[in-house]
Structure 1
Amino acid sequence: MVGAMSATPYPAPVPPSGASAGTPTAAPEAQHLVVRTVRIDSLPGGPTALVDLLPDARPLTWVRRGDGIVGWGEALRLDTFGPGRFADADAAWRALLARAVVRDEVRLPGTGPVAFGTFAFDDGPTGDAFDDERPQGTLVVPRVVVGRRGTVTWMTTTSVGPTLDAPGDAALAAAHRVPVTSPGRVTLVDGAVGSVDWPGVVAEAVDRIRSGALEKVVLARDVVATTEHPLDPRFLLGRLAEGYPSCWTFSVAGMVGATPELLVRSEKGLVTSRVLAGTIRREPGMTDDDSLLHAAQLARSSKDLEEHEFAVRSVADALEPFCSSMNVPDAPFVLHLPNVMHLASDVTGVLDPASRSGSLTLAAALHPSAAVCGTPTVAARDLIREIEGMDRARYAGPVGWVGADGDGEWGIALRSAELGDDPHHLRLFAGCGIVAASDPAAELAESEAKLVPMRWALGAD
C-alpha cells in the first residue's frame, strides 16, 4: 500500500501570465496522482542502458553519459498555448502536485513526480505552416520512469486515481519491449527554403545588421527526411546516446535529438546554463593536431567571439533578477563534439530564495536567448518571422523535465528532428548565428555540419 505522504510542491503558484490559458487534457484540479519511487537493481553500464529499456515507439527521454531519466506510458498530458505557455504549464503542474499522494524512497533529482516537457520556439506565426490551434507547450507525466544518477537506479510509477501499478523491478519485468526496427533507406530533400536560396536569406540578415537594425540574428533551415520503413524513435535515440554521449539525448512529444546546449538546470538552489555560440566544423579524418589547430582558430575568431559574447550576455541578464550571486566566465572554452566545435561558457548562479522560482520560470525568463534568437531579442525575433520562411515549431525551444520541487533540467531543442503523424516523414533542423562579419556560403556549410548528428542517427550518410 502506498504511504499517504503528500507531495511537497514548490512555493505558491505564479498566476498564468499569457492571454491564453493552459488547456490540459483534463483539468488538473480533477486529477489525483498516486506516485511511488523505489530503488531497483543496477542497470548495465554504458551510455544507452536507459534508452535500451524503452518498451515502445513513444519514448520519453533525457539522458547524458548514461545518466538521466526515461519514461513511457502517459498518465497525464498538459497542453498550453500562446505567450503564457510556460506560466500556464507551471500553474497546471503545481495544481496537480497539490493533490498528489507521493512516496519517494530515493529522494534524488528526478525521483518522485516528474513531467517531461517541450515548448515551441515562438508564440506567433513563423511561416506558412503555422497552426494557431497546435499546442505550443506540452508536459507529459509518464506512467513509468526509470532513472540513474551515478550508482543509484530507481523506478517511479504513477497512476491517476486511487490505485498504483506494480512498483520497482516487478513493473520493469512486466514491460513488454517491442524490438527496435531500422528505418531502412532514407532520402533527404530541402525543406521550406532550398539550400540554393538560403544563403540569400543570410545575406539579407547581414545587410540588416550592417544597417544597424540589430546586432545578431539566428537563422535556421529544415530538411525533410523520408524513410523506407516507419521510423522508430528509439533507433535514433540509441545511436545519438552512443555517438554523442556528452550531449543531452531527448525525446518528448515528437521532438527527438541530442542537444549540446543546456538552457537551465535548477538543483537545490544552484542554477546553471551552458551557452554555446560560435562554431567551426570538424572535417572527417582530422588528427588530434588538426583538432587543436581548429580549436585555436575558433578561440581567436573575432566573428565567433562576438557572437558568443551576445549569447552569454543575454543569459546573464536574464538570470540576474533570480539570483543572489552569479559567476559569468571571462572567456569561453572550446567544446569538442564529433561533428563540430563550439565556443562554450557555463554561467552559474545561486538562486535567491525570495524569488520562489522553479525551473519552468527560469526557462521562460531565458527563452529565447541570443544563442537561438539574436540581439536585441524583439528585433531578432521579428526578423526571423519576416525572412526565415519556415515554421520552427518546437525546434530551438526548451525541452527537458521538471520535478515536484520545481527543480529540473531544460535544454534547447537543437541537433533535432520533429516527428509528425506520418511515421515515414520527419523534419531535421539546423541554425546559425548571423553577425555583421558572417559569410553566407560559410553559414550554409555550418548548417550542413549541424545536420550531421541527425543524418547520422538516421543512417542517411
Structure 2
Amino acid sequence: MSASPGSRAALATRGPAPQLVVRSQPVDGVSAHLLDHLPDEGGLAWVRRGDGHVGWGVAARLDVAGSNRFEKAARWWQELVGAAVVRDEIGVPGSGLVCFGSFGFTDSDPSELVVPEVIVGRRAGTTWVTTISPASSLAAPPELELHEPSPVYDVTFADGARTGTDWSSIVADAVRRITAGDLDKVVLARDLIAIAEQPIDLRWPLHRLATAYPNCWTFSVDGLIGATPELLVRREKGLITSRVLAGTIRRTGDDAHDLALAASLARSSKDLEEHEFAVRSVADALEPHCSSMNVPETPFVLHLPNVMHLATDVAGVANNGASALGLAAALHPSAAVCGTPTPVARDLIGEIEGMQRGRFSGPVGWMDAAGDGEWCIALRCGQADPDDTRRMRLFAGAGIVAGSNPDAELAETNAKLVPMRDALGD
C-alpha cells in the first residue's frame, strides 16, 4: 500500500461527473478486521471499534484546491449522486454510494474526493460489500481475500521544517503577540520525517493504529494515514454532533498519577481557556444549521493511551439540508486547529510556522448519497512521500494561549507524535 508517484494526476476526474452503477448487498466471510481486506496496491480506510469502511480501486475522483474547494466538491458529489443508479439492500448510513475525502488546511493545499470501486462496510453487526462501476461496465461482487501487510523495519526520525529548539522560539514569539493583544489563541504545528530502510507498506501502521487506538477514527486517504481522536462533525438522519478537543496532558502509565494529572488538567486555567475558544468556534459555526443545540458548560477528560484531552461533545438538530461535507466546510478551520480570531491566527500561522501543512489538520472522512457522513480533523497522522516510498512526514500541533510555556508545548507535540512513531516501529 505504498504511495504511487503521480497517482494524483493519473486518477484525477476531469469534466462532468461520470454515471455510476452502485450495488450494496450483505456478505458473509468477512474478517473481524476490515483492514485485513485491503489489497497490496493500496486503498482507503475509515474504521473505529471494528466498524467503518475500507475500499479500493477508483471509480471516480475529484482533485480540487482554492478558496471554493468545498463548494466545488459538493457540486461534483451532487452531480455524481444525481446520475448514479443505486441498488442498496442495506439501507444504513454508509451503504450505497460513498465517497472518501480529505481537504487541505489552507486554500492552496490539495484536496480530494475519491469513490472506490469496492467498499467493504460494517455497522452494528451488519457487513456488506458495495461495488461501484461505470454504467458501461457493470462489476460483479468480488471474492473478498485476506492480505497480510509487510512490517516496517529500521525507521529513523529526523527534524522536519524546524528543529525542536527553533519551534519553541516560534511559540515564544506567538505568546508575546498574544500577550500584546494581537490575538487570543494560535495553533502551531511541526513535522518530523520518518525514513525506513524499505518502502513503507501503509497497511502496517494502519493495523497498529487501529489496534492501539480503537476509540479513535483510523483513516487512510491518498497516502494520508492516522488515528484521530477529534470528530469535526457527524451528520446522521438529522442529528449533528461534534467532539471538540483542546487542552492536553501526557500520560505517565501510572494509573494513580494519571488520575491526578487528569484532575489538574480539568482545573488548568490555561487549558480551560484554550478549550473554551475551541468550543465556542464550533458552536457558533453550527448554530445556523441547527434548530436546537446542546453545548455542555463543562468539558470532560478524554483518556487515550498516550495523552488526555479536555473534550466537549456538541450536539444539535439539523434545520436545513446541509450535508456532512457542507457542515465540515462551515467548521473549518476551527479554533482547535487554527486559533482565535480565525483570520488573524491563520495569517500568523502562515507568517511564522514555516512549513506547508498539506492535509494535516484539515477535514478527513466520508459521505454517502444522502449527505450523511463523518468528517474528523486529520490529526495524529502522517503523509507518505509520493516521490520516495521509504519516507513519511509526521505531524503534531499545540494550541498557544497567553499562559503557554514553550518547553511544555514542545513536550505536548512530542506526546502527540507517539501514535505514528509507534505505529511505524518494528
Which interval holds the TM-score relative to the shorter structure? Answer: over 0.9
Matched, 1:418 2:406: no
What does 1:282-321 align with in structure 2 at a 5 Å threshold?
282-283=251-252, 285-286=253-254, 288-321=255-288
Letter aligned with residue 428 of structure 1: L
Letter aligned with residue 197 of structure 1: D
**TM norm structure 2:** 0.95
Which whole-Å deviations, capped at 9, do the CAs of 1:295-333 have from their partners, x for residues lacking one?
A: 101101000000000000000000000111100011000
Q: Measure, in 2, the Cα distance between the counterparts of 1:153 and 1:217.
A: 42
2:239 to 267, 270, 277: 270
Q: Measure, in 2, the Cα distance between the counterparts of 1:164 and 1:236.
A: 34
Match of 1:77 in 2: 61
1:27 to 15, 20, 30: 15
Match of 1:397 in 2: 362
Q: Measure, in 2, the Cα distance between the counterparts of 1:242 and 1:179.
A: 15
Matched, 1:445 2:411: yes
- Check conservation: 1:57, 1:234, Cα contact below 8 A: no
With over 3 angstroms needed to count, the CA separation of the structure-2 counterparts of 1:279 and 1:36, relative to structure 1, is: same
Shift of 1:180: 1.2
Match of 1:356 in 2: 321
Shift of 1:27: 2.1
- Check conservation: 2:246, 2:309, Cα contact below 8 A: yes
Match of 1:192 in 2: 161
Match of 2:7 in 1: none
Q: Measure, in 2, the Cα distance between the counterparts of 1:147 and 1:42.
A: 13
Q: Measure, in 1, the Cα distance between the counterparts of 2:73 and 2:110.
A: 10
1:37 to 6, 24, 49: 24
- Check conservation: 1:42, 1:153, Cα contact below 8 A: no
Letter aligned with residue 327 of structure 2: L
Q: Measure, in 2, the Cα distance between the counterparts of 1:336 and 1:56.
A: 34
Match of 2:393 in 1: 427
- Check conservation: 1:237, 1:256, Cα contact below 8 A: yes
Match of 1:107 in 2: 91
Shift of 1:26: 2.8
Aligned residue for 1:448, secondary structure, equals helix
- Check conservation: 1:275, 1:371, Cα contact below 8 A: yes
Match of 1:149 in 2: 123
Match of 1:19 in 2: none
Which whole-Å deviations, capped at 9, do the CAs of 1:154-200 have from their partners, x for residues lacking one?
A: 11000012332222xxx133x5x553111210010000011121100
Aligned residue for 1:61, secondary structure, equals strand
1:253 to 204, 207, 222: 222
- Check conservation: 1:57, 1:232, Cα contact below 8 A: no
Q: Measure, in 2, the Cα distance between the counterparts of 1:235 and 1:82.
A: 33
Shift of 1:136: 2.2
Aligned residue for 1:197, secondary structure, equals helix
Matched, 1:60 2:44: yes
Letter aligned with residue 385 of structure 1: G
- Check conservation: 1:274, 1:344, Cα contact below 8 A: yes
1:93 to 72, 77, 81: 77
Which whole-Å deviations, capped at 9, do the CAs of 1:112-167 have from their partners, x for residues lacking one?
A: 0000000000114xxxxxxxxxx622000000000111110011000012332222
With over 3 angstroms needed to count, the CA separation of the structure-2 counterparts of 1:147 and 1:178, relative to structure 1, is: closer
Shift of 1:95: 0.5
- Check conservation: 2:37, 2:147, Cα contact below 8 A: no
- Check conservation: 1:68, 1:147, Cα contact below 8 A: yes
Q: Measure, in 1, the Cα distance between the counterparts of 2:136 and 2:90.
A: 22
Match of 2:8 in 1: none
Shift of 1:334: 0.4
Shift of 1:228: 0.8
Supply the RMSD in Å over aligned alpha carbons. Answer: 1.3
- Check conservation: 1:254, 1:418, Cα contact below 8 A: yes
Letter aligned with residue 65 of structure 2: F
Q: How many residues matched?
A: 415
Q: Measure, in 1, the Cα distance between the counterparts of 2:419 and 2:16.
A: 38
Q: Which segment drifts farther, 211-220 or 34-43? A: 34-43
Shift of 1:290: 1.5
Q: Measure, in 2, the Cα distance between the counterparts of 1:293 and 1:145.
A: 44
Q: Measure, in 2, the Cα distance between the counterparts of 1:410 and 1:234.
A: 21
Q: Structure 1 runs of 4+ off > 6 angstroms?
A: none
Shift of 1:42: 5.7
Q: Measure, in 1, the Cα distance between the counterparts of 2:396 and 2:337.
A: 11
Q: Measure, in 2, the Cα distance between the counterparts of 1:330 and 1:42.
A: 46
Match of 1:5 in 2: none
Match of 2:139 in 1: 165
Letter aligned with residue 82 of structure 1: G
Q: Which segment drifts farther, 50-59 or 274-283? A: 50-59
Letter aligned with residue 185 of structure 1: D
